[in-house]
Structure 1
Amino acid sequence: MASAAIPADSSDRSHPEWQYLDLMRRIWNEGSERVDRTGIGTRSVFGTMLRFDLADGRMPLITTKRVYWKTATREMLWFLTGETNIRPLVLQGVKIWNEWPHANYVRQTGNTIALDEFVQRIANDATFAEKWGDLGPVYGKQWVDWPTYRYGADGKYERGPGINQVAEVVESLRSNPGSRRHIIEGWNVAQLDRMALPPCHKTYQFHVGDGKLNCALYQRSCDVALGLPFNLWSGALLQRMIAQQVDLEPGEFVWMGGDTHLYRNHEDLVTEQLTREPSGSPRLEISRRPDSIFGYRIEDFLVEGYTPQGALSAPVAV
């Protein structure tokens, strides 16, 4: 039986978070029913956009539910290391990637170990983690070590030096700010089948105008209830970090979605969140400027003015 449509809210619409809530409402009320790879099913719309002004420290941090911004920040810092194993995240208490290697372990070994027990083994046993905790060449690997290949002196095809896209973008923003090629790309077609999950937030493009650094993020697939709040924070965070490194003020963060969806088993979360109204203006202070984009630490980030409503949970589709 189809769920009832959720009526539009008639409150003041000036808060930028209404963009997110309106998108959620539109998908739930108007999205097409789709069968997806998880078997759960989604309601989906295609081709969406949200825009946020990052002036004065403002950040797109959702207030109508609690978003664990430190978790998202730890993940972004992990991406920038080029690491692809979940163990560094597990040791920091970050759980967002655990389901994929766990499912792979169960599938390959037939051992129906509980997720919590699997994660504990990842934390306690480095050898076990090395074998079973790796996600393949996901985000960070492509960002800072995109593989190249060449013919060696013996005529054999061999691995060449990796390309650090993040470092190259920082340098190009400094040396050639008017370029239209300030891009970080995660969609390496040749390696998709080796990734636990092909990149969802796949393309970042940076633009300099009027002394400000703008960023457009294209996301091919987006879980609006659980994933998008993290993606908005993380994309704007990367923009803020790069802006600091290249001596520019942060400008506009533009998020664009391809297949933008809600899972059908997220109805309780959607219904509850759409009864809530956004409030406040969360701001991010970066307390230190390291020598490199790769030198930030979690303690460098301080969020002020964030008083979210209660957390909302829903199952993750793997």
Structure 2
Amino acid sequence: MHYENQYLDLMRTIWSSGAARGDRTGTGTKAVFGAQMCFSLDNGAIPLLTTKRVYWKTAAREMLWFLTGDTNIRALVEQKVHIWTDWPLAKFNDETGENLDRDTFEKRIIEDDDFAEKWGDLGPVYGKQWVDWPVYDPVPDEGEGLYRKRAKGINQIEELVDSLRNNPNSRRHIFEGWNVADIDHMALPPCHKTYQFFVVDGKLTCLLYQRSCDLALGVPFNIFSAALITYMLAQQCDLQPHELIWTGGDVHLYTNHAELVEEQLSRKPSGYPRLEITRKPASIFDYTIEDFSVSEYAPQSHISAPVAV
């Protein structure tokens, strides 16, 4: 069976019998609670959907951005990556009463330092938590209950690499994005929130728990990105990438995605794309987009649909 059939089967189940639910965006969804898909990463396999084009370089650039700890969209839009722009753009238009379009907003983000600093920041999202999880220490001789934030927080990714290299049997190979204290300061709380890794016989498996899963638009990116970081970690730790296990909590399809869903379900998956990392950088933080090559990927045409903000 083609690896993509499990994704299409999940889409079909939700669309035909998912529970109708309201949502934060006011759009409306059909949803199920609790789902799982498993994808082989053996021999260069990579879970890119073939029934529509997934812009994997966009997903890879986002992953590299996460690993820098940056939380401002400027570095993304300079690379023509637009996937995070809708949230700060909506905030800008709402708070100022203006009605900028995306291109104009992004142009100002790139050209105006002060504008980018004020309106381009997303708060302490993903990468901030991954590589600089805030830590607070008691302030000595200042009374009970007083704490000072450390200049440098915990780098979960750095610690994960060290753990995979030196203690492969650990059950603590985890990095986490759900920092409860910071949730209200984020443009969007982390959807793909908890990554755990498992090593056996020199092979690396990733289990990703995703709390909120936009199956049509978000999940195709998320499964590629999770597979990609598994490949990167495996290379850095002299392991073989083996499997990605994706687990979804609230897995949903937006009701305004009918055309996308019906078109995609009419298509048949084909082909088995392969990922190659063409260089081994000095660390997990030193990869560039040029280090990744995907072959044997011949997807059917892109299917567009609106993003619910």
For the aligned pair, the TM-score class normalised by the smaller chain equals: over 0.9
Q: Name the structure 2 match of 1:219.
A: 210
Residue in 2 aligned with 1:120?
A: 107
For residues 146-157 of structure 1, what are the structure 2 equivalents within 5 Å? 146-153=133-140, 155=142, 156-157=146-147
RMSD: 0.8
Query: Match of 2:163, SS?
Result: helix
2:175 corresponding residue in structure 1:
184
The equivalent residue for 2:285 is 294
In 1, the alpha carbon distance for the partners of 2:88 and 2:212 equals 20
**Which residue is 1:239 aligned to?**
230
Measure how far apart 1:81 and its partner are.
0.1
Alignment of 1:92-111 (within 5 A): 92-111=79-98
Q: What is the Cα deviation at residue 107 of structure 1?
A: 1.7
Moved more, 146-155 or 46-55: 146-155
Query: Tell me, what secondary structure is at the counterpart of 2:259?
Result: helix
Aligned with 1:128: secondary structure? helix
Which of 68, 72, 79 aligns to 2:55? It is 68
SS in 2 for 1:137: coil
Note the C-alpha offset of 1:115: 2.2
Which AA in structure 2 matches 1:158? R
Mapping 1:11-30, distance limit 5 Å: 14-30=1-17
Letter in 1 for 2:91: N
The gaps in structure 2 that reach 5 residues or longer are none
| 1:253 aligned onto 2:240 | no
The one-letter amino acid paired with 2:172 is R
CA–CA distance in structure 1, aligned partners of residues 222 and 147 of structure 2: 37
User: Offset of 1:63 from its aligned partner?
Assistant: 0.5
Q: Which string of whole-angstrom CA distances, capped at 9 and with x for unpartnered residues, describes residues 69-107 of structure 1?
A: 000000000000000000000000000000000011112
Query: Partner amino acid for 1:88?
Result: A
Structure 2 residue aligned with 1:270, among 251, 261, 264?
Answer: 261
Q: Distance in 2 between matches of 1:99 and 1:293?
A: 29
Offset of residue 169 of structure 1? 0.5
Aligned equivalents of 1:244, 1:16: Cα separation in 2: 24
Could you list the runs of 4 or more consecutive aligned residues of structure 1 that deviate by over 6 angstroms after TM superposition? none
- Give the Cα–Cα distance (whole angstroms) in 2 for the partners of residues 67 and 115 of structure 1: 21
- Write the letter of the residue equivalent to 2:115: F
Q: Which residue of structure 1 aligns with residue 123 of structure 2?
A: 136
- Identity percentage of aligned residues: 65
Distance of 1:205 and 1:128 partners within structure 2: 37
Stretch deviating more after TM superposition (147-156 or 83-92): 147-156
> 1:154 deviation in Å?
5.1
CA–CA distance in structure 2, aligned partners of residues 115 and 32 of structure 1: 33
Aligned-partner SS, 1:20:
helix
For these two proteins, the number of residue pairs brought into alignment is 305
Deviation at 1:285, TM superposition (A): 0.4
Q: In the alignment, which of 10, 22, 44 is matched to residue 57 of structure 1?
A: 44
Q: SS of the residue aligned with 1:296? A: coil
**157-166 vs 130-139, which deviates more?**
157-166
Q: Write the distance in 2 (CA, Å) between the matches of 1:75 and 1:52.
A: 21
CA–CA separation in structure 2 for the residues paired with 1:315 and 1:75: 20
| Structure 1 unaligned spans of 5+ | 1-13
Offset, 1:202 = 0.1
- CA distance in 1: counterparts of 2:98 and 2:107, whole angstroms: 15
| Match of residue 196, structure 1, among 175, 184, 187 | 187
Tell me the distance in 2 between the aligned counterparts of 1:235 and 1:296. Answer: 15
**Secondary structure of the equivalent of 2:285?**
helix
Secondary structure in 2 matching 1:184: strand
- How big is each residue's C-alpha offset from its partner over 1:200-259, in whole Å with a ceiling of 9 and x where there is no partner? 000000000121000000000000000010001000001000000000000110000000
